[in-house]
Each structure stands twice: as C-alpha cells, then as structure tokens.
A and B are shown apart, each in its own frame.
Chain A
Amino acid sequence: NAGVMQNPRHLVRRRGQEARLRCSPMKGHSHVYWYRQLPEEGLKFMVYLQKENIIDESGMPKERFSAEFPKEGPSILRIQQVVRGDSAAYFCASSGTDQETQYFGPGTRLLVL
C-alpha cells in the first residue's frame, strides 16, 4: 500500500529558472495539500486541492507560485523564476476527505543557487 509519493526528492535550480514539484497522493485519497518548511521554522500551509479544483490557496505567495491537481496524474506545485528565498523543503500531504488525517510524503528539497 504505497504512501504519498513526491519527486524529485532533491532539486537544484539557478535563480530565474522554473521548479516543478510532483506529488502522487495515497491510493484512494482525493485531497492534496502542499506545505513549505524553512530551516528552523514550522511547516506552513500553502494550498489545498481536490481533483481539478483549488479549494484554498490562502497560503500561496501571490506571484510566481501555482498549483494544480489534474483529473489524471499527480499534483504539481510550480514555482516560476525562482529566487534564493524559495530554497526550502516542500511537503505534500493527502487525505481521503477534508476531515480525515493528512499523511505526508517524504518531501522535495529545493535549493536555489
């Protein structure tokens, strides 16, 4: 029973490039959440999606960041024109409903040079 999968696990980008982070939820889960974790900081909510719908993006920066969860395939968190401050660990979580426990993936560690 595969858990939440994220890839890549590590991603290095130069300033100005684009970063694409992928998340496949646990089998049977249709709710996906993205979080960011900065060094010495707690996990911060970014966005909550269901299939083909963004439910809550109140934690997403207004510019350069976008997320999608298409009908087929993984959820994608996209960061355009990355800056050094985007360097962080990005975690995806999934749940069966919005009232159930969220289970986390292993994260993608983004380093912007």
Chain B
Amino acid sequence: EDQVTQSPEALRLQEGESSSLNCSYTVSGLRGLFWYRQDPGKGPEFLFTLYSAGEEKEKERLKATLTKKESFLHITAPKPEDSATYLCAVQNGDKIIFGKGTRLHILP
C-alpha cells in the first residue's frame, strides 16, 4: 500500500536555527514527490516537485532532496514567517498521497 510518513510531527526552532524535515515513502510507481506549505485556514501552497533520486531543488531558505526511500526539506536560518505546516506527498498514477505534515514553529 502506498504510504507517506513525515517526521517529526512538530518542531520548534529558534530563529536562525537550521534543521531538516523528513518524509519517508513507499509507492509502487513514483511519478513525483511534492512539498507543500500550509498556513492555518488556507490551502496548500506548492513549493517543490522532485522526480528522481539525487535531485535537489532550492527556494530561498528551503532546499528539498530526494533518495529512493525518503525526502528531506532542509531549512537554513529560518525566520518566524517560515512557521507553517509542511506537507509531503507522492504521486502514483493520477492520485496524490499526502503525509500528515510537520508543524514547524520558528521562535523570534
């Protein structure tokens, strides 16, 4: 069964304290791995798509990497405005399977 597991469930960091979020997945035929950001009361906002092991993408303080079994979202020197829930998802066919997310809180 296709599955996406994210860890940790919640993470509190001081402003400027870098860290990584983990996304482990099992899927029969990976068509893409996605990272989204979701703020309270809003819809998921697209961040990255990764297609193959070894691929990396960056945007401002965020960097996403992909291996055959997991993906990491690295956050470098985060700011309070980076506080949100970060969702990982995999596509198999036309369906996207989401993890439960990591709630990130950056303290000023």
Cβ–Cβ < 8 Å partners of A6 in chain B: 43
Interface centre among A4, A42, A48, A109 (most CB of B within 10 A): A42
Binding site for B on A (CB under 8 A): 4, 6, 33, 35, 40-45, 48, 55-56, 58-59, 91, 98-99, 101-107, 109
Cβ-based interface call for B8 (8 A): no
Give B44's nearest chain A residue, CB to CB.
A104
A6, B87: Cα distance in complex, Å? 21
A6, B41: Cα distance in complex, Å? 13
A42:B42 contact, CB within 8 angstroms: no
Cβ–Cβ < 8 Å partners of A103 in chain B: 46
Indicate with 1 or 0, residue by residue over B40-74, a CB within 8 angstroms of chain A CB atoms. 01111110010000000000000000000000000
B99:A42 contact, CB within 8 angstroms: yes
Known contacts A41-B100, A42-B87; decide if A106 and B94 are in contact (CB<8 Å). no
